[in-house]
Amino acid sequence: MKMTLIKPALTLENKDFSYPIYVHEDALLSVGDFVKQAISEKKYSGCIIIADENVSKLYAGRLKGDLGESLKLEIKLPAGETTKSITHLEKICEQILASGIDRQTLIVALGGGVIGDLAGFAASILLRGIPFIQVPTSLLAMVDSSVGGKTGINSAAGKNLIGSFYQPEAVFIDTAVLNTLPKREFKAGYAEVVKYAFINDAKFFAWLEDNKEKIFALEPQAITHMITTCCQHKADIVAADEKEHGARALLNLGHTFGHALEAENNYGPELLHGEAVAIGMVMAFDFSAHLGICSAVDAEKVKTHIDRVGLPTKVRDIKSLRGLNAEKMISLMFKDKKVKLGRLRLILAHAIGESFVADEVKLDELQVFLEKTL
Ligand code: NAD
Ligand code: GLY
């Protein structure tokens, strides 16, 4: 059985692995063809869909129809960050094992970053590794979490502290599903979009500034260009540094500040991951300006852009974080995975599009900055 699949928008390729990333208005329709073709070539024996309840209701039906008998099990999980837990991991692993899998069973992770991270992690440990594909449905998952193979769950000690690097077999990005994504989630995902511009692409920042209206109106051409650009940036960085020994750390711009805010908020619904990253990126540029290594003009441009698209820019914008002080913030920041030999490493910037890994952050400077900012 030979089917014609749509052409991938790009391929993530390095010496150890290679996989296609499809970005298309109807990419969901290609998942069934991809799976059935691979089954006919004896690459997979069958598949399992994992989705949260919101996404399952909207999109699992379409996949199920196309997958037919190759679908062996469908798992529906509650929506939200708390699903990325050891409890849910255990439950789904037991459920999948009880269904009788082999090493050729494919997991289809259908959903946002929560499902992609959890299902990918389950795939990495079941039978010491079974294949999985990412079918991201939130903007955040399309431009960031579905590409690059970081999988994992949260622990009581912090976010994403249990996990693995485990690459998917393919990524199917169906841009049309963004029509049902709640606006607040779209904006949160946009924080990870503009992050690539802030890291190393000032031209992309200018394009985003010029195309804001089209993007937020979900104009298909603008959306496809935006998502493909982000995936290309991510693919380039991951191809060069899969395990985050170097350049991949740049993708954490705003995240050390942001993760501390999420932890202080107990990962509750008042602050989405992308919103925390948005505030974190403003803080990273403001701190860079405070240190005199970035112009105040660029720091202001970052803040203005984030504000104009309707994302929060200040810790004080979030009611539940109003009691946070500098000492607590620093102790939360030290839980970050980038802490090396007891030293805090932050992604700072010389300018928009010129971010870098700052290896030895001066804590007294950070304290002064946080006291002024929080
Ligand atoms: P999410 O998975 O919780 O999805 C957000 C909400 O949108 C959920 O309620 C979901 O049901 C709903 N939803 C998703 N797609 C929809 C659609 N098309 N229509 C209607 N509703 C839809 O959250 P997220 O923002 O996608 O992902 C956040 C998670 O991703 C965090 O846990 C974060 O740590 C992780 N993350 C991982 C990486 C990585 O590299 N692995 C990178 C960034 C973020
Ligand atoms: N989202 C950060 C990374 O994938 O490295």
Residue 169: what pLDDT?
Answer: 98
Is-catalytic flag, 300? no
State mean pLDDT over 188-217: 98
User: Which residue, by CA, sits nearest to atom 2 of ligand 2?
Assistant: 251
Using pLDDT thresholds of 50, 70 and 90, give the confidence band for residue 1. low
Q: Which residues line ligand 2 (CB under 6 A)?
A: 144, 148, 150, 248, 251-252
Which of 159-168, 252-261, 335-344 bottoms out in mean pLDDT, i.e. has the lowest?
A: 335-344
* pLDDT, tens only, 71-81: 999 999 999 98
Considering the candidates 24, 159, 195, 273, report the single residue annotated as catalytic.
273
* pLDDT, tens only, 79-97: 998 999 999 999 999 999 9
In this predicted structure, the answer to whether residue 269 has a pLDDT above a threshold of 80 is: yes
Residue 267: what pLDDT?
Answer: 84
**Gap between the Cα atoms of 287 and 296, Å rounded:** 10
Is-catalytic flag, 74? no
* pLDDT, tens only, 16-26: 999 999 999 99
Cβ of 6 closer than 6 Å to ligand 1, yes or no, is no
* pLDDT, tens only, 278-293: 999 999 999 999 999 9
Cβ of 185 closer than 6 Å to ligand 1, yes or no, is yes
Residue 340: what pLDDT?
Answer: 77
Using pLDDT thresholds of 50, 70 and 90, give the confidence band for residue 156. confident
Question: Across the chain, what does the average pLDDT equal?
Answer: 96
Is-catalytic flag, 248? yes
From the CA of 312, how far away is ligand 2's center (Å)? Answer: 21
* pLDDT, tens only, 292-302: 999 999 999 99
Cβ of 9 closer than 6 Å to ligand 1, yes or no, is no
Is-catalytic flag, 159? no
User: 360 phi and psi, to 5 degrees?
Assistant: -125, 90
Residue 339: what pLDDT?
Answer: 77
Residue 90: what pLDDT?
Answer: 98
Residue 335: what pLDDT?
Answer: 84
Is-catalytic flag, 244? yes
In this predicted structure, the answer to whether residue 341 has a pLDDT above a threshold of 80 is: no
Considering the candidates 84, 88, 150, 303, report the single residue annotated as catalytic.
150
Residue 342: what pLDDT?
Answer: 78
In this predicted structure, the answer to whether residue 162 has a pLDDT above a threshold of 80 is: yes
HEC letters along the chain: CCCCCCCCCEEEECCCCEEEEEEECCHHHHHHHHHHHHHHCCCCCEEEEEEEHHHHHHHHHHHHHHHHHHEEEEEEECCCHHHCCHHHHHHHHHHHHHCCCCCCEEEEEEECHHHHHHHHHHHHHHHHCCCEEEEECCHHHHHHHCCCCEEEEEECCEEEEEEEECCCCCEEEEHHHHHHCCHHHHHHHHHHHHHHHHHHCHHHHHHHHHHHHHHHCCCHHHHHHHHHHHHHHHHHHHHHCCCCCCHHHHHHCCHHHHHHHHHHCCCCCCCCHHHHHHHHHHHHHHHHHHCCCCCHHHHHHHHHHHHHCCCCCCHHHCHHHCCCCHHHHHHHHCCCCCCECCECCEEEEEECCEEEEECCCCHHHHHHHHHHHC
This prediction's pTM: 0.97
In this predicted structure, the answer to whether residue 173 has a pLDDT above a threshold of 60 is: yes
* pLDDT, tens only, 301-325: 999 999 999 999 999 999 999 999 9
Residue 97: what pLDDT?
Answer: 98
